A and B are shown apart, each in its own frame.
Chain A
Amino acid sequence: MFGQARTIALYTLLEALRNRLMWLVVAVALIGVGLSGFLQEIALTESRQIQLAMLAAFLRFSAVFLLATFVVTSMVREFNDKGLELVLALELPRAGYLFGKLAGFAALALVPALLFGLLTLLLAPPEQAAWWTLSLVCELWIVAAFSLLCVLTFNQVMAALSASMAFYLLARSVTAFQLIGHGPMTDQSISQQIINFVINAIGVLLPHFDEFTRTDWLVYHSGDLTALLPVLAQTGIYLALLAGAALFDLYRKNL
């Protein structure tokens, strides 16, 4: 099964290379550098920090968007072209197919993460750029796995992509929602308590992306191992959760 999964992973990577995803990644990198350079020129103060912050935020979101879009469109196309049937008619367990795809998308995520991480090296210390890059890899792996799960569930590009982006945005803002819910200005009526309970339940089930790939590591050099270890732990646990959910979905799927 592992040999087959490796083959599927390699061919997933090949698909990304051949459908010009890499060109898009390079284009995004150039746009990011150009944009942040332009802003640096017109800023009156903290220009380097502004450039770095804008660049990091832009690259991070772009990487997530590009990867999620590729995962969703690639998988939907494979379903529609009966590629899944072609492969599953072989002596290949569905788990082997899934792990192959996950491994392929994980390998693919390294490309924008490393390229964008290298760009931050132009402006940030190497150690901080390394933490940021590593965290971005973790974030992209979770996004890729979730996008794959969404495709298995929805089978359509729009629904899967919308769900993936909603998940990402919610995971980035869930901590803020929790803090607001428990804030001193918030009325603690029964309805608010129910809302707080729901938000907390969501907060327990989502990865807290506001702790990942933080811009302040680059700008204020505050990143270190103690910041990164929880990121790695959360990534490991969440990938296992998403893999389990995706397997559950795939094995129950009638093709």
Chain B
Amino acid sequence: MSSPAIRFQNVAKRYGTTQVLSDVDLEVSQAESFGLVGMNGAGKTTLVKCLLDFCALDDGCIEIFGLSQRLTEARRPLVFLPERLIPPYYLTGRDFLKYLLKLQSLPYRADAVNDVLEALDLDAVALTRPVRAYSKGMTQKLGLAACFLADKELLVFDEPMSGLDPKARALLKSRLLSLRAAGRTLFLVSHALADVEEICDRMAILHRGTIRFVGSPTDCCRQFGTDTLEQAYLKCIS
């Protein structure tokens, strides 16, 4: 049996005297689409930081495809899109894509780039402009393009829909669903319950540093006896 894409085991993290995460147990299976939801300050970003070894765990362990998250090579099959992407100010869009691809020892192929941009409704001409001239939506699309071009097994996205217009959101959802169908693993952190319901096989609700629910969106509604996921979520965290 293959190891899960991500395994959080008994993860705990403190900032000073504040317990930000405690007893977090989660498994994300390979080829699964998983959503992590929670309020602001629930600990979602901290959990992602722990996953990426940006900060040290106080307890527990995390594995990425069976490797400890502390190992650099554990991040080989992974690509990450942060919540508020700010590309290096001195680069153009094209430079940014080339930069990230080079760091991953991947070639820059113009045809692949054009395909991805089209899939995200980003005009290819934008690549010639400096990124500091981009709108929030354009920056987000650029970040998503960089992640898709990397063609990794595991995609970790923090608020991927942020700043996108309705058309771009629809296109992104379509892309994510096709990636799921192609066997990629998606780990999405999101406030948008509707998107999680549509895209994710399973979800977890993180509240005040602890996991309150793990299961499919349907199971969530059933468990909390509600018609909508939103109502189930509110009941869960109340």
Contact = CB atoms under 8 A, between A and B. Distances in A.
Question: Is there a contact between chains A and B in the complex with CB atoms less than 8 Å apart?
Answer: yes
Interface of A: 3-4, 7-8, 11, 14-15, 18-19, 77-78, 81-83, 85-93, 254-255
Contacts of A83: 86, 88
A19 B72 contact: no
Contact of B88 (A3, A15, A254): A15
Given A82-B84, A85-B82, A91 B73 contact: yes
Contacts of B79: 89
B99 A255 contact: no
B105 A89 contact: no
B54 A91 contact: no
16 contacts: A4-B103, A7-B102, A11-B88, A77-B89, A82-B85, A83-B88, A85-B52, A85-B82, A86-B82, A86-B87, A88-B52, A88-B53, A91-B72, A91-B104, A92-B72, A255-B55
Contacts of A88: 52-54
B103 A90 contact: yes
Contacts of A91: 72-73, 75-76, 104
A255 B52 CA distance: 10
Given A7-B103, A18-B90, A255-B55, A93 B72 contact: yes
Interface centre among A82, A91, A93, A255 (most CB of B within 10 A): A91
B90 A19 contact: yes
B72 A11 contact: no
Interface string B64-97: 0000000011011011101011111111000100
B181 to A, nearest CB: 25
A228 B153 CA distance: 53
B103 A81 contact: no
B54 A85 contact: yes
B212 interface: no
Contacts of A90: 75, 100, 103-104
Contacts of A11: 88, 91, 99
Contacts of B222: none
Given A88-B52, A254-B56, A81 B104 contact: no
Contacts of A18: 90
Contacts of A92: 72, 103
Nearest to A15: B90
B49 interface: yes
Nearest to B51: A89
Given A15-B88, A91-B76, 5 more contacts: A4-B103, A86-B80, A86-B85, A87-B103, A92-B103
Contacts of B89: 77, 81
A83 B80 CA distance: 12
B56 A81 contact: no
A227 B55 CA distance: 46
Contacts of B76: 91
A218 B152 CA distance: 57
B49 A255 contact: yes
Contacts of B105: 3-4
Contacts of A8: 103
A89 B52 contact: yes
Contact of B75 (A15, A19, A89): A89
A90 B105 CA distance: 11
Nearest to A90: B103
A90 B77 CA distance: 9
Contacts of B91: 11, 14
Contacts of B52: 85, 88-89
A90 B86 CA distance: 16
B78 A89 contact: yes
Contacts of A4: 103, 105
B99 to A, nearest CB: 6
A88 B55 CA distance: 12
